[in-house]
Structure 1
Amino acid sequence: MANKRIIKCPNCGVFNTNKDYCENCNTLISHQKKRELKVAAVKKKEVDEAIFEKENPNLAERLKNHSNILYKIFGWILYSAITIVSAIGVGLAWFIAMVAAG
């Protein structure tokens, strides 16, 4: 015999047997279904953010790919400056971590 799931609807108080949605008010009552919908929403959000990042590059990337050579040069200079500042920041963070570690 299959497992019987009796779930009380938090919205209207009706007891439902083996249902994902309340028979009375159509409220989602299945905890498993709620988790599945939440996971799907998180995945969709991650995909949407990845698509946004791909379609909307930062200023340095846009300038590096510009058709005008002066904008391209400025884009590469800006990109190089960002890379150098990031490398200095990484080195400084490493040094502070090593000093803190003893």
Structure 2
Amino acid sequence: MSVTKIIKCSNCGVFNTNREYCKNCNALISDTKKRQIKEAQVKQDQIDVVLHEKENPNLAERLKKHPNLFYRIIGWILYSAIMIVSLIGAGLAWFIAMVAAG
């Protein structure tokens, strides 16, 4: 069984039968095609974000991999300081949540 889809073009107002693009103005009118394009764009955006994070590490990560030993030591100290501050913040948040819970 074939389903006939009649879609009105939002650009020019022409009714199209079983088409993804308008026969008059060639605008995209298919919802399934629009969803596929949107999904592909979202996936590509996520890939771009991951690649950007991988190619541009933060200062501590760059210093930890530096060829100079002095800079590597500074990188590890900076990384350790960030971790300690994060642990203190997490512990403080946990303590406040426990006090608030009673």
Query: Normalised by the shorter chain, which TM-score bucket?
Result: over 0.9
**Structure-2 separation of matches of 1:31 and 1:82:** 48
Q: Percent identity?
A: 69
Give TM-score scaled by structure 2 length.
0.94
Q: Say which SS state the counterpart of residue 72 (structure 1) adopts.
A: helix
Per-residue CA distance 1:13-51 (angstroms, 9 max, x = gap): 000111111111111111111111111111000001101
Using the TM superposition, give the Cα deviation of residue 100 of structure 1 relative to its aligned residue in structure 2, in angstroms: 2.4
Structure 1, gaps ≥5 residues long: none
Q: Which residue of 2 aligns with 1:58?
A: 58
Q: Which residue of 2 aligns with 1:76?
A: 76
Q: Which residue of 2 aligns with 1:32?
A: 32
**Over the residues paired in the alignment, what is the CA RMSD in angstroms?**
1.0
Per-residue CA distance 1:38-66 (angstroms, 9 max, x = gap): 11111000001101111111000000000
Structure 2, gaps ≥5 residues long: none
Q: Which residue of 2 aligns with 1:49?
A: 49
What letter corresponds to residue 68 of structure 1 in structure 2?
N
**Structure-2 separation of matches of 1:49 and 1:42:** 11
Give TM-score scaled by structure 1 length.
0.94
Using the TM superposition, give the Cα deviation of residue 97 of structure 1 relative to its aligned residue in structure 2, in angstroms: 1.9
Q: Say which SS state the counterpart of residue 16 (structure 2) adopts.
A: strand
Number of positions where the alignment pairs a residue of Structure 1 with one of Structure 2 = 102
**Structure-2 separation of matches of 1:71 and 1:93:** 33
Q: Say which SS state the counterpart of residue 23 (structure 2) adopts.
A: coil
Matching of residue 15 in structure 1 with residue 12 in structure 2: no
Q: Say which SS state the counterpart of residue 94 (structure 2) adopts.
A: helix
